[in-house]
């Protein structure tokens, strides 16, 4: 194994740091929109809203069974959407289907006795959803939602195909400029580790807190 060029790796840090901010911007916006889309779809399915069940299910299947790469190509090259909004839209479209299933699983796990108790108190349908059903559904859905957040963060690794200067694009540029593939890939792994490890730890902490609040252990 050839010795690593540590000077070059250190010199590339500002480039990776700037690209990491772009990655975080895309992933955070995409995840927020995915959560909103997923919650809306889960509510529509849970309430069995007339005429929308099939379109919502069709969207969920389409988003979950088509690669992010294909969605990016369609938006950027087919519909001519600019690179940054295209990346956010594709991530939200993909994530919305996964988040919908996570939310729906949580909603359906709420016991009927809780709903009957809320009805006996005279709460409206939406009051039951927001104040009784949703809080309990979120407790059940936290592990799946956390896994989806990590999945979407990692999926940002393909947005460089539409000319977004993310950390993968920086690694590719450095390889093409200096032919130091090992150094660039090590930096890429380290930057992803710095981005993902705090998120993973935060999600595990949240899961423990939820489990402790629910089961007391």
Per-residue pLDDT of the chain (217 residues; tens, 9 = 90+): 557 888 888 889 999 999 999 999 999 999 999 999 999 999 999 888 788 989 999 999 999 999 999 999 999 999 999 999 999 999 999 999 999 999 999 998 888 887 778 777 777 777 888 888 888 888 889 999 999 999 999 999 999 888 788 999 999 999 998 888 888 999 999 999 999 999 999 999 988 888 776 655 5
- Residue 216's region, left for phi above 0, alpha for psi from -120 to 50, else beta, is left
Q: Which residues contact 173 (CB under 8 A, 6 or more apart)?
A: none
Q: Which of 169, 175, 176 is nearest to 191 (CA)?
A: 169
Would you say 189 and 140 are in contact if contact means Cβ atoms under 8 Å apart?
no
Beta carbons within 10 angstroms of residue 35's beta carbon: 20
CA 124 to chain centroid, in Å, comes to 32
pLDDT in tens, 172-195: 999 998 888 888 999 999 999 999
Question: All domains of the chain, ordered by start, with CATH?
Answer: 6-215 (1.10.3720.10)
pLDDT on residue 16: 93
Residues in the chain: 217
pLDDT on residue 101: 95
pLDDT on residue 168: 92
pLDDT on residue 121: 78
pLDDT on residue 73: 94
């Amino acid at each position: 194994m050839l010795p690593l060029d540590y000077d070059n790796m250190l010199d590339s840090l500002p480039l990776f740091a700037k690209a990491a901010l772009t990655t975080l911007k895309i992933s955070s916006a995409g995840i927020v929109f995915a959560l909103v889309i997923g919650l809306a779809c889960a509510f529509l399915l849970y309430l069995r809203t007339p005429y929308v069940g099939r379109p919502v299910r069709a969207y969920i299947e389409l988003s979950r069974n088509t690669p992010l790469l294909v969605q990016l190509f369609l938006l950027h090259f087919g519909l001519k959407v600019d690179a940054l909004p295209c990346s956010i839209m594709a991530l939200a479209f993909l994530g919305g289907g996964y988040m919908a299933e996570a939310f729906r699983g949580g909603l359906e796990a709420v016991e009927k006795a809780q709903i009957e108790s809320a009805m006996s108190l005279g709460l409206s349908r939406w009051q039951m959803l927001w104040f009784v059903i949703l809080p309990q559904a979120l407790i059940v859905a936290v592990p799946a939602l956390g896994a989806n957040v990590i999945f979407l963060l990692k999926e940002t690794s393909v947005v460089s195909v539409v000319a977004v200067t993310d950390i993968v694009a920086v690694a590719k540029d450095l390889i093409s400029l200096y032919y130091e593939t090992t150094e660039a890939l090590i930096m890429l792994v380290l930057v992803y580790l710095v981005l993902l490890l705090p998120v993973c730890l935060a999600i595990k902490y949240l899961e423990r807190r939820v489990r402790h609040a629910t089961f007391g252990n």
